Amino acid sequence: MSSLPFFEWLTTSPWANFMNGPEWAFPIIESFHFVGLALSIGTIAIIDLRLLGLGMRRQTASELAADLDPWTRSGLAMMLITGLLMFSADAVNYHYNPAFQFKMTCLLLALLFHFTFHHKVIRSEVSPVAARFAGGLSLALWTAVVGGGRMIAFV
């Protein structure tokens, strides 16, 4: 079954009409998207750098994650909500854009990794090798999400 009818419907939805209506709507929502991105990926990167042994040594990764968790979750929620709004503005074209497909694949992998293996590494005592692996892979996945998002306009 093709998802194209859903994307065509989405481009005529009230959300898409709002995003494509006033000329200020898309840039404002995109700005909030970037704020959510900075909150979520920024706090995750701080924890990843701690896992790599590159700072914040006064706190364990678990303590650091507990302190930053509300900011991370708020940023993720803001990023996902505004991302869906922006997607609705031109869902069909975004769906076929290779950079968008790459970003969505990396985002899915990053979220799955973050809420499974990464979360387990942070909450338990693991070997330094496992911690470095988790931190490095997490940074790589989130960097790919940002890179893919940046390339959407150029593909």
> How many other C-beta atoms lie within 10 A of the C-beta of residue 137?
16
The stretch 123-133 carries a mean pLDDT of 90
Identify the pLDDT of residue 1: 66
Task: Count how many domains the chain has.
Answer: 1
Structure token digits, residue 107: 């985002």
pLDDT-based confidence at residue 3 (cuts at 50, 70, 90) = confident
Q: What is the pLDDT of residues 8-51, one digit of tens each?
A: 999 999 999 999 999 999 999 999 999 999 999 999 999 999 99
The mean predicted confidence, pLDDT, of the chain is 94
Rounded distance between C-alpha atoms, residue 87 and residue 94, angstroms: 7
Domain that holds residue 129: 4-154
Helix spans in 11-127 (H): 14-20, 25-51, 61-89, 91-96, 98-113, 119-123
pLDDT-based confidence at residue 141 (cuts at 50, 70, 90) = very high
